[in-house]
Amino acid sequence: MSWQSKLLGFHMRALVKPYLARIEDPGVFAHDAGQMNLFLRPPPFMRRFSRPDGLTWISAGPVAEGKAVLYFHGGAYVAGSPENYAGPLAKLSDRCGIEVCAPRYRLAPEHPFPAAYHDAKRAWRNLRRLGYAPEDIVIGGDSAGGGLALALLSKLCLRGTPPRAAFAFSPWTDLALTGDSIRENAEADVMLPGERLEDVVELFLGRHRRTDPRASPLYAAFPNCPPVLLQYGEGEILRDDSRRMAERLRAYGAEVTEEVLPDVPHVWQILDGWIPEARASLQSAANFIQSSLDAKASR
């Protein structure tokens, strides 16, 4: 672990984790999470524009025509936006030479489940209407957005129209909260307080079944699944959401790559410019996207 990651982990444990443990108003959390883009450094010459169909396009540097990364942001289904993630997604685009499409999906508590899932499906349809073929799209996301991406992947696999590949950063795949790591890593996780997961699940799911595959892709089916990359931290409370997700996907014959790092914060990939582990993992994800789409890199 780098000294930068050690220092960042210390500050997250002292400041961010206690804040998340005590906050009660999701509106306050959503507002504060919206300020994080001040710390997520964009690359030079970042481009960003939004369409009326809810799709935000983000890139930096030359990009291949006719190919796209469909990315769903995290935020526990109550916070986040494409604008918050513009900097890291522009860096991902720059490294893989592919434009990133980041949909805006509805958030709880105003729009509880299954609103986000329906918006994810609509984003896929809108991308297809723009002329993108399934084999020219890679889908991905982080945390709750990673779970949303994998839920969409299941739907597309069942339809027989899967994307070329998929990836997820520390995805939340089991809203039934049955992973042992929630308890085992309660102290080790420098960012997420495990005791608050129950509150978020109730806020988002309400009376819906917690093992509904549209919310918990750990229980979904993935016939004829394309290659999947999962990146997660060994010390995260959501470690087992990724570990068991990999097992589930392999049970359906998918080629799954797991990249596991020790002592990194939740979704560390977006912290490029702050910790070296972020740049290395983001580059690895870019290599995966690039090789999946067989596109020329911008660098």
How far apart CA 293 and CA 135 sit, in angstroms, is 8
| Cα-based angle 152, 271, 117 (whole degrees, multiple of 5) | 15
- Check if 31 is active-site: no
- Quick one: how many helices (H) and strands (E) in the chain? 10, 8
- Check if 24 is active-site: no
| Catalytic hit among 81, 143, 170, 292 | 143
Q: 66-91: string of b/e by CB count within 10 Å (b at 16+)?
A: ebbbbbbbbbbbbbbbbbbbbbbbbb
Sort 129 into a burial class: Cβ within 10 Å, 0-12 / 13-18 / 19+: exposed
Asked if 233 contacts 264 with a C-beta cutoff of 8 angstroms, the reply is yes
Which residues, including other chains, have CB under 8 Å from residue 95's CB and lie 6 or more apart?
282, 283, 286, 297, 298, 299
Q: What are the Cα distances from residue 118, in Å, to 28, 104, 151?
A: 25, 12, 11
Return the structure tokens found at 232. 């997660």
| Catalytic hit among 5, 266, 281, 298 | 266
* Largest Cα span, the chain: 48
Q: What are the Cα distances from residue 180, in Å, to 46, 184, 194, 195, 241?
A: 40, 6, 11, 13, 9
- Check if 198 is active-site: no
| Catalytic hit among 236, 242, 277, 298 | 236
- Using CA atoms in the order 119, 123, 126, 127, what is the torsion angle rounded to 10 degrees? -170
Residues designated catalytic? 143, 236, 266
